[in-house]
Structure 1
Amino acid sequence: MSRSPRDAFREITLDIQGNLIAARQWGNPEGVPVLALHGWLDNCASFDAMAPFLAELNLVAVDLAGHGQSYHRHRDANYTVWTEIEDVLGMADALGWASFSMLAHSRGAVIATIAAATFPERVCRLALIDGLVPPPTTDAEAPETLRKGIEQRARYRARNSKVFESLEVAVAARKNGLFKLSDDAARRLVERGVCRSGEGYRWSNDPQLLASSLAKLNEPQVLAFLDRAIMPIRLALGKDGIQGMIERIRPLAEQHPNIVLREFPGGHHLHMEESAGAIAAWFLPFLKGENPPR
């Protein structure tokens, strides 16, 4: 009996200094190692639609800290890109990967780029979806950024997650959130991203994820990281993705010959919907190191 794509993975747990990262392992355990990083407030089910097309790879899609079924940071800690980089390396070490590639979406793509730039000897290739580097801030904005981050941390630390009376209500809420999703895409994320709460369900994500960063990169810092990400990079952008994303990212990509950019139909979660197979077909030979045509 054939298995559905939802069943064609193994649930695994990665131990990072006593902190547990939940993950799904897809494909061939002997294949090219690829770590998959989802976007903000998503989870590893973000890659359910693409993973069956990438069965030749050893693909491990994780729930980042504070997301899905993974650990929550201490209440005094912060969800910053910097701490995510340490987790990425810890995940690779837990998997026994001295070197690896990454498949990443949105905020996960930003994390992947900065991790690759910081430790380029560990990262072979980047396959990115609707994300590359964070929008730069200005030095003059630093005091207000810090104030906003501190105030939001205090607010969200004490916040209780909303309780939904049923999975269907939670799916409807996710479907009609900041980034519109199909019913199937929303359902995949919700099934992975809620937990029982009394007679209903609540998001399993840490509410502190909603707080903004205490500090952000300025333009020279963003460019410094991008200049150090010297490995081959492929970037898939949604034609109807985040407003202004293509206009912001394309000039940066064109300045770096190691980055190849292609637009695909779809919104910000294009890899979960109609373009999943096409993006996977573009990424697969690249991640396998076959140096296919651009």
Structure 2
Amino acid sequence: MSEYLSISTPAGSFDALAAGPEDGRPVLLLHGFPEAAMEWEYQVGVLGREGYRAVAPDQRGYSPGVRPENVADYAIEHLVDDVVAMADALGWARFDLVGHDWGGAVAWWTADAHPERLRSVTSVSTPHPGALAEALRSDEEQAMRSQYMRDWRGRDTEKRMLANNAEALRRMYEWKVPRSRVEDYVRRLSEPGALTAALNWYRAGKPAARIGKVSVPALYVWSTEDVAFGSTAALSTENWVTGPYEFQMLEDVTHWVPEEVPEAFTALLLEFLHGR
């Protein structure tokens, strides 16, 4: 059975979904846009039953208790600091970190900045940011795929996404996320200030420093029908990992891996974690 937590940090209190014994091996799971901790409901439950202590927080801007108004407060360094602060609050000296979409980007940056804190890192969909940056320069297709990141920085983005009963927002899930889950996401993001906070992740601008190669054991799961990330960045991610690395490709699966194929993905994750 999953439980709900409030994780108190200097930045504020994060809402979280959790399962598993308190003394179980700790795993932190970071959601993407436009989702919430609930995207990991299946994985948290399975990990908990397997004896892990799995915690999936609503991240900065998604948790009402951590929703600053300034765009600069959503810079990647603050998102990484949140991960460390939550782990500290949970009493975790070392932990496994899993992320999807934006959560995957935060996971990569955390692995670069705090390798001593991580037992392993898993990114779903999102390639290593260094590999993505290279692809954006060299691959016209990836540049086209990533155009949305610039488009969503516009001031009228919230209005467009929420118009006509959030039609544009609903389309993003490509009918691959359970309808009840989509309704929950739309309801959450329709709350005053919530969608602006989520979009501020895109508006915060480039990181202050460059990311390096990751030394902790890494699993990268990429799906062939992902509209956001193409094969160029996916296949070159291995060049940005110096530690043990596993790459898993899911055929005929879209961007929404954890919710579209929860059993298949969770099996890959468990196999990876069991080997560490």
Common fold, TM-score beyond 0.5? yes
Mark the CA change 1:175 to 1:50 in structure 2 (over 3 Å): closer, same or farther.
Answer: farther
Mark the CA change 1:213 to 1:133 in structure 2 (over 3 Å): closer, same or farther.
Answer: farther
CA contact (8 A) 2:4 2:16 kept: yes
Q: Structure 1 CA distance, aligned partners of 2:33 and 2:264?
A: 23
SS of residue paired to 2:115? coil
Moved over 6 A (4+): 156-161
For each residue in 1:157-192, what CA deviation from the matched residue of structure 2 results, as whole angstroms up to 9, or x when unmatched? 99799488xxxx55x654412x413351x5225425
- Counterpart selection for 1:240 from 214, 219, 225: 225
- Counterpart selection for 2:53 from 50, 58, 68: 58
Mark the CA change 1:210 to 1:192 in structure 2 (over 3 Å): closer, same or farther.
Answer: closer
Aligned counterpart, 2:210: 221
When Rg is computed on C-alpha atoms for both structures, the one with the higher figure is: 1
Does 1:270 pair with 2:257? Answer: yes
Does 1:119 pair with 2:114? Answer: yes
Q: What TM-score comes out, normalization by structure 1 length?
A: 0.74
Q: Structure 2 CA distance, aligned partners of 1:195 and 1:235?
A: 29
For each residue in 1:39-79, what CA deviation from the matched residue of structure 2 results, as whole angstroms up to 9, or x when unmatched? 12311011123333323221100100111555201336431
Q: What TM-score comes out, normalization by structure 2 length?
A: 0.78
CA contact (8 A) 1:174 1:181 kept: no
Q: List aligned pairs for 1:1-294, cutoff 5 A.
A: 8-17=1-10, 19-55=12-48, 56=50, 57-67=52-62, 69-75=64-70, 77-134=72-129, 135-136=132-133, 152=153, 155=155, 162=162, 169=165, 174-177=169-172, 179-182=173-176, 184=178, 186-191=179-184, 194=187, 202=191, 205-211=194-200, 212-216=202-206, 221-222=210-211, 225=212, 227=213, 229-254=214-239, 256=241, 258-265=244-251, 266-273=253-260, 275-288=261-274, 290-291=275-276
SS of residue paired to 2:74? coil
Q: Structure 2 CA distance, aligned partners of 1:23 and 1:103?
A: 14
SS of residue paired to 2:73? coil
Q: Structure 2 CA distance, aligned partners of 1:61 and 1:40?
A: 14
Cα-Cα RMSD = 3.3
For each residue in 1:236-257, what CA deviation from the matched residue of structure 2 results, as whole angstroms up to 9, or x when unmatched? 1111113553221212315646
Gaps of 5+ in 2: 138-148
